């Protein structure tokens, strides 16, 4: 299938409470564009989750801070679990209790920060 956009460089839109959640079909289609990201439902909320590997705590922390800066710029924020050699990111949209295209944009942008 032809992909005529780049999720990582798309601007996040302000998320309104009445924005529609992505449907299962839309999620499946977008997941193809963000390899390694898992679609998980927790506490009734669809989420995107990925764990990144690092060689120590400081490099994991540096990535955490880069993601934090990106999240602030986009006004869209992940759950972050930083551990020795690992960072787990979880993206979902609080305002709608589910997944929005913004979450895929931020997942793709996170990958770009990891891959340099």
CA 79 – CA 65 distance, rounded (Å): 13
CA 29 – CA 40 distance, rounded (Å): 15
Considering only residues 90-109, where is the footprint of ligand H2B by CB under 6 A?
93-95
Per rule CB under 6 A, is residue 27 in the interface with ligand H2B? no
- Tell me the closest approach of the beta carbon of residue 23 to ligand H2B, in angstroms: 19
Would you state the structure tokens that stand for residue 68, as one six-digit string? 């934090």
47, 50, 76, 105: which one binds ligand H2B (CB under 6 A)? 76
In the three-class reduction of DSSP (H, G, I as helix; E, B as strand; rest coil), residue 57 is classed as: helix
CA 79 – CA 75 distance, rounded (Å): 13
- Tell me the closest approach of the beta carbon of residue 10 to ligand H2B, in angstroms: 16
Per rule CB under 6 A, is residue 80 in the interface with ligand H2B? no
Closest Cα partner for 83 from 106, 53, 50?
Answer: 53
21, 66, 77, 88: which one binds ligand H2B (CB under 6 A)? 77
CA 46 – CA 1 distance, rounded (Å): 25
Per rule CB under 6 A, is residue 41 in the interface with ligand H2B? no
- Tell me the closest approach of the beta carbon of residue 30 to ligand H2B, in angstroms: 16
Residue whose structure tokens are 């801070």:
65
Region binding ligand H2B by CB under 6 A among candidate stretches 22-30, 37-45, 70-78, 108-116: 70-78
């Amino acid at each position: 299938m032809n992909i005529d956009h780049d999720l990582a460089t798309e601007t996040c839109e302000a998320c309104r409470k009445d924005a529609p959640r992505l449907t299962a079909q839309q999620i499946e289609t977008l997941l193809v564009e963000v390899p390694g990201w898992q679609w998980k439902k927790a506490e009734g909320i669809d989420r995107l989750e990925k764990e990144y590997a690092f060689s120590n705590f400081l490099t994991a922390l540096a990535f955490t801070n880069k993601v934090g800066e990106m999240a602030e710029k986009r006004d869209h924020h992940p759950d972050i679990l930083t551990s020795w050699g690992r960072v787990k990111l979880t993206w979902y949209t609080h305002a709608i209790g589910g997944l929005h295209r913004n979450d895929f944009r931020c997942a793709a942008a996170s990958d770009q920060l990891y891959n340099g």
